[in-house]
């Protein structure tokens, strides 16, 4: 669970400051519960929702007392996604029950995705409104996580979509070398590009599809791993080739000359990937912010979504989710 204590200001334009931030790991037991919850029956899910809401409240409560936080306008909480089937008009994030207000005795803003799905949207991505209002000086906001995703303005509309897999693939091959991830991209840097594999990766159908579009592990398991594992080459060569592939795909999208590209997510620490991006985007200014912003941008933006909701301002963009109109989403449980 990512937690951040943030102050937002609006004097003509939005600014923010992250004062405290922390990531709290789940116990092994909770990791297993959350992984398996997709298979739970309705009654089991209802019970899990209650116990998870209690867990979340205790984590938030501990964060508040540890940092002696006294000035709190609201706790803005995403919860944990268990089921996401927007095509069937359904999404479930547990931890958003009214019980959380009783336990914390704070104003709560939560459950941000449900309304968008009811309005015919995907319920995602929700981050682009934050890119639009908090990071408007950048031409592109790029997140390098399990997948790379981007948001930018096009003809007056915010556009956002997934570009390619990133750490879902790189971490998997680093695991083969006995490491959780490829630190700074050093293994990839020591490998060589396999041009045939690179060509086949770049020729995958997904990259030619128009946006909006998104990626999941299904794509990685069905398309990426079988292709890469059909090559009997060194793991470092696979890493090197895949980093090149990521850089090419990002450069294809973020192609405006003399642009400013804002980069967050774990991949921002992959120096070799950043180096290859610079190679393909020579006139682009790549901006990598401070550690707090890299690591807590999602927490920051869900806090911001809550602030917008309390003001009844638009916090979900139809141009991004496909909903029937822009709207202000999220449930509010007022402090008693």
Domains of the chain with CATH codes: 2-122+316-333 (3.30.420.40), 128-292 (3.30.420.40)
Tell me, yes or no, if the pTM score tops 0.85: yes
* pLDDT over 90 percentage in the chain: 91
What mean pLDDT is reported for the chain? 95
Mean pLDDT of 160-188: 96
In this prediction, residue 274 carries a pLDDT of: 98
Mean pLDDT of 311-329: 96
In this prediction, residue 278 carries a pLDDT of: 98
In this prediction, residue 218 carries a pLDDT of: 82
Strand order in the sheet with 108-110: 75-77, 108-110, 331-333
DSSP string of 95-114, one letter each residue: S-STHHHHHH-S-EEE--SH
The Cα–Cα gap between 86 and 206 comes to: 20
Residues 6+ apart with CB under 8 A from 60: 3, 75, 77, 104
In this prediction, residue 304 carries a pLDDT of: 98
Render pLDDT for 49-91 as a digit per residue (tens, 0 to 9). Answer: 999 999 999 999 999 999 999 999 999 999 999 888 888 888 9
| 8 Å CB contact between 205 and 222 | no
| 8 Å CB contact between 239 and 174 | yes
Mean pLDDT of 19-33: 95
In this prediction, residue 147 carries a pLDDT of: 93
The Cα–Cα gap between 150 and 56 comes to: 29
Mean pLDDT of 321-332: 96
The Cα–Cα gap between 150 and 145 comes to: 11
pLDDT higher than threshold 90 for residue 129: yes
The Cα–Cα gap between 322 and 121 comes to: 5
Render pLDDT for 133-157 as a digit per residue (tens, 0 to 9). Answer: 999 999 999 999 999 999 999 999 9
Render pLDDT for 201-249 as a digit per residue (tens, 0 to 9). Answer: 999 999 999 887 888 888 899 999 999 999 999 999 999 999 999 999 9
In this prediction, residue 211 carries a pLDDT of: 84
CA-nearest of 181, 183, 184 to 169 is 181
Q: Binning pLDDT at 50, 70 and 90, where does residue 300 land?
A: very high
Three-state DSSP class for residue 266? helix
Mean pLDDT of 83-101: 91
In this prediction, residue 214 carries a pLDDT of: 83
Mean pLDDT of 33-58: 95
In this prediction, residue 38 carries a pLDDT of: 85
Mean pLDDT of 144-173: 94
In this prediction, residue 89 carries a pLDDT of: 87
């Amino acid at each position: 669970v990512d937690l951040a204590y943030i102050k937002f200001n609006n004097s003509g334009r939005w600014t923010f400051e992250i004062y405290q931030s922390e990531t709290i790991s789940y116990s092994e037991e909770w990791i297993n519960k959350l992984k398996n919850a997709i298979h739970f029956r309705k009654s089991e899910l209802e019970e899990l929702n209650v116990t998870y809401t209690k867990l979340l409240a205790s984590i938030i409560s501990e964060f508040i007392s540890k940092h002696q936080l006294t000035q709190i306008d609201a706790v803005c909480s995403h919860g944990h996604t268990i089921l996401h089937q927007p095509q069937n008009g359904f999404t479930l994030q547990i931890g958003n029950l009214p019980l959380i207000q009783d336990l914390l005795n704070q104003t709560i803003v939560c459950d941000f995705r449900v309304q968008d799905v009811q309005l015919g949207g995907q319920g995602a991505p929700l981050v682009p409104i934050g890119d639009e209002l908090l990071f408007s000086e950048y031409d592109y906001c790029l997140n390098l996580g399990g997948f790379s995703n981007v948001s930018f303005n096009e003809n007056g509309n915010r556009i956002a979509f997934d570009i390619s897999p990133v750490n879902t693939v790189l971490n998997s091959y680093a695991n083969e070398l006995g490491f959780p991830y490829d630190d700074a991209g050093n293994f990839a840097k020591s490998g060589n590009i396999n041009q045939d594999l690179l060509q086949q990766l770049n020729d995958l159908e997904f990259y030619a599809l128009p946006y909006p579009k998104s990626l999941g592990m299904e794509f990685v398991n069905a398309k990426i791993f079988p292709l890469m594992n059909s090559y009997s080459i060194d793991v470092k060569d696979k890493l090197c080739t895949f980093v090149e592939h990521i850089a090419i795909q990002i450069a294809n999208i973020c192609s405006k000359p003399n642009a400013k590209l804002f980069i967050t997510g774990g991949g921002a620490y992959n120096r070799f990937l950043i180096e290859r991006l610079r190679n393909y985007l020579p006139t682009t200014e790549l901006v990598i912010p401070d550690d707090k912003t890299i690591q807590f941008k999602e927490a920051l933006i869900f806090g911001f979504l809550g602030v917008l909701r309390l003001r009844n301002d638009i916090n979900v963009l139809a141009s991004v989710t496909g909903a029937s109109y822009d709207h202000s989403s999220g449930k509010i449980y007022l402090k008693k």
